[in-house]
Structure 1
Amino acid sequence: MKVETLLCLNAVFQDQPKVDFYMNNRRFAPHGEFIEDVLCHWYGEYELLEKHHRYIQWLFPLREQGRNEHAKPLTFSEIEIMKNTAEIQHRLRRAYKLMLNFFGVKIVGEEEIEVIRDSNFSTHFSNLNTNTHNNLRITRIVKSMGELGAAQYQAPLVKFFLKEILVEDQLQNMKESALKYSLPAVKNDHERDALSEYVLKHRISKNTKRLLPVVTSLLPTPITHWTPAYSEKEKKWLSEEPGEYREDGWYQLENERIVLPATLAPEIVRALHSRTHGGKTAMEQQLEPYFYVPGLTAICKAIAHQCVTHAKNNPRQGIVRPPGVLSVELSPMSSLQIDFTVLPPCKGYKYLLVLVCTLTGWVEAYPTRTEKTAEIVGCLMREIIPRYGLPLEIGSDNGPAFVQSCLQQLARLLRILWKLHTTYRSQSSGKVERMNKDLDG
């Protein structure tokens, strides 16, 4: 029995290159250094860290084969040893800080870990945008920290890059990798869900911010024309809300919406209505993304009801017809209808992929060789999203190309609401069906 036990132990500990490397007993391969030499002498050597591609699979090993054939996949026995060896855990954190410095960021705090910009971030961000292979390195680091018992370092790093991408409008070449690979790699369910909500919140915020010039242009005078006067009750409520007073006296919430005092709200809503004569719902949709208005629905309803012009043009007598089912977004190219139509054969192209904006009616048409899902994905990723950003929703029929699981998974990943409807049903996709007829003619 003792002999068998010794043989088993020998088999377990016989070949553990990652453990040996982290214990400073071997160099990384091929033609590498000991880990202590890397941690001590490579810190700040940015050109070396950028151009050398063999070390990263050893510093942050995974249970999958990487591009370095000399760095074998991490084994379960190695994982257990590395998670439970203090010396290895200490070196793992030093390696993490080494790479963060290379990316132009640093960590602060021990209990509450936060990743922030380092003083040299500008040059390093430029390098990250240019050399996109660093996206793979970042994802590897996030995954490896989770595998090796340091999962608390995952979410802070991912959140930092999401903030830079979505809020600060930096590192745009990292966006797809961060959303598709780094975020799902976070092991803690609560932290991963919180990051997903953060992405959704700021994607919606970014889409609505683009409409602000439209709303302000509809007001007869700028919002700064009015002087806010918040009541004591409102001031008490605002003191408990995340936000701050601007220099012009207006209170701006954390989501960038401006709070309108109850005494001023009717006057400002009436000023908007005097330019548009919109109904209750239209005014709410125009104001809600940018202003917090106490009792907005009641104010809009009362002002629309009192408008003579509105009453003359919208008598609405008798039975009210049910509302239509086609939704129209408030910004161009945020809601699309998409369909294939037949194209006279020309140089191998047989079909036309047609996309129509439901708000503006703008048409984009691309010749394709097939009616396959790959054509749709290629068009969205190469043509539509780079120029117009991510749409909020896309409508199509339930043809084979549109119901493929890979396309629907991509839509869910990008948080695009994909609406499927009956083929040739004009009530659901009238815009693109009419455009197909025009193109066929």
Structure 2
Amino acid sequence: MNHGVRSFPIRENGMNFEAQALQPHEAAAMKGDSDVIERIKGSYGLMLDFYGMCLLNFETGLIGRSEGYRARYRNLLQAPHNNLRVTRILKCLSEMGLEHLNAGFLLHVLNEQSEHKQLNTSLLRDSMDRWWANCLRNEADREWIGLTIKKARNGEIFSREKYEASLRRRKESESFAEPQLECTDA
């Protein structure tokens, strides 16, 4: 990949030492430009395909496997430099107000690890647990996803059904938290 191309700009220096970090005023202008957001969404779709995934629902962030995913998953596992790219992508999505896509990505990977035993190397898990999950700016989402990851690491299966239900719940209520039952006096 050409590191001179800045498909996913963030406020940090990357591998291209000649490139400048994104400045706050630039980020604000980009976030408000629908053409820029469309290009970022397109770049995200291309990168998902490169990693063996496809965006099934933009509104929720739901991801599925793309055609030929096995070879692409294998590449993702065998080329750990991709973990840095994923971190950059997630940070950029948060910067551009597309953080719901981060959650869809994280929970898709967790489902693949938990239910299907895919994308499940110690290096990828470490990147996910330590870096990717912390790219979420929304504290409640970050805590819920962190707890969900911890449960899966302790053996609880994070099924596709749970994945899809979680994204629907977040879309409908703007929260991953499951509604609490209220006790009433009869």
Instruction: Give the shorter-chain TM-score range.
Output: 0.7 to 0.9
> Would you say the 8 A contact 2:4–2:19 is kept in 1?
no
Counterpart position of 2:52: 104
Please state if 1:143 is matched with 2:143.
Answer: no
- Normalising by structure 2, what TM-score? 0.78
Asked if the contact 1:82/1:89 (under 8 Å) is kept, the reply is: yes
- Residue 140 of structure 2 is matched in structure 1 by 190
Confirm whether residue 160 of structure 1 aligns to residue 108 of structure 2: yes
Aligned equivalents of 1:175 and 1:110: distance in 2? 25
Q: In 2, are the aligned partners of 1:166 and 1:199 still within 8 Å (CA)?
A: no
Question: 1:113: how far off?
Answer: 2.4
Helix, strand or coil for the counterpart of 1:167? helix
Q: Tell me the residue number matched to 2:43.
A: 95
**1:201 maps to amino acid:** K
| Cα shift readout 1:29-48 (whole Å, capped 9, x = no counterpart) | xxxxxxxxxxxxxxxxxxxx
What per-residue deviation string (whole Å, max 9, x for no partner) do you get for residues 93-124 of structure 1?
00110100100101112332201111211000
d(CA) in 2 for partners of 1:116 and 1:53? 27
Structure 1 segments of 4+ aligned residues over 6 angstroms from their partners = none
Q: Secondary structure at the match of 2:155?
A: helix
Partner of 1:363: none
C-alpha displacement at 1:53, in angstroms? Answer: 3.8
Which runs of structure 2 are paired with 1:15-414 in the superposition (5 Å)? Answer: 52-55=1-4, 58-171=6-119, 172=121, 173-205=123-155
Q: Which runs of 5+ in 2 are unaligned?
A: 162-186
SS in 2 for 1:59: coil
The residue aligned with 2:168 is none
What displacement does 1:155 show? Answer: 0.7
Measured in 1, the distance between the counterparts of 2:96 and 2:60 equals: 20
Distance in 1, Cα, partners of 2:153 & 2:32: 40
Which one-letter code corresponds to 2:53 in the other structure? V
Deviation at 1:156, TM superposition (A): 0.5
1:167·1:202 contact (CA, 8 Å) conserved in 2?
no
Structure 2: which amino acid aligns with 1:189?
E
3-state SS of 1:205 partner: coil
Q: Deviations over 1:105-164 (max 9, x none)?
A: 011123322011112110001101111000110111001110122212111011111222
1:141 & 1:65 partners in 2: Cα distance?
A: 14
**Matches of 1:60 and 1:133 in 2, distance apart?**
16
Deviation sequence 1:292-334 (CA, Å, 0-9, x none): xxxxxxxxxxxxxxxxxxxxxxxxxxxxxxxxxxxxxxxxxxx
Q: Residues of 2 paired with 1:144 and 1:111: CA distance?
A: 17
Query: Residues of 2 paired with 1:158 and 1:148: CA distance?
Result: 17
Q: In the aligned structure 1, how far is the partner of 2:53 from the partner of 2:65?
A: 4
2:87 maps to amino acid: T
CA contact (8 A) 1:60 1:141 kept: yes
Deviation at 1:71, TM superposition (A): 1.8
Rounded Cα–Cα distance in structure 2 between residues aligned with 1:59 and 1:185: 17
Mapped contact 2:61–2:105 kept (Cα < 8 A): no
SS of match in other structure, 1:190: helix
How far is 1:62 from its partner? 1.2
Looking at structure 2, the residues matched to 195 and 71 of structure 1 have their Cα atoms a distance apart, in angstroms, of: 32
How far the C-alpha of 1:55 sits from its partner, in A, is 4.6
The corresponding residue for 1:266 is: none
Aligned-pair distance for 1:61? 1.1
**Relative contact order, higher structure (CA 8 A, sep 6+):** 2
CA distance in 1, matches of 2:58, 2:79: 31
Structure number with greater Rg is: 1
Q: Which runs of 5+ in 1 are unaligned?
A: 1-51, 207-241, 243-441
> What amino acid sits opposite 1:156 in the alignment?
G
CA gap of 1:55–1:170, structure 2 versus 1, over 3 A, is farther
* SS of residue in 1 equivalent to 2:131: helix
| Alpha-carbon distance in structure 2 between the residues aligned to 1:116 and 1:126 | 16
What is the RMSD computed on CA atoms of the aligned residues? 1.9
Residues in 2 aligned to 1:55 and 1:183: alpha-carbon distance in whole angstroms: 26
Q: Distance in 1 between matches of 2:29 and 2:62?
A: 27
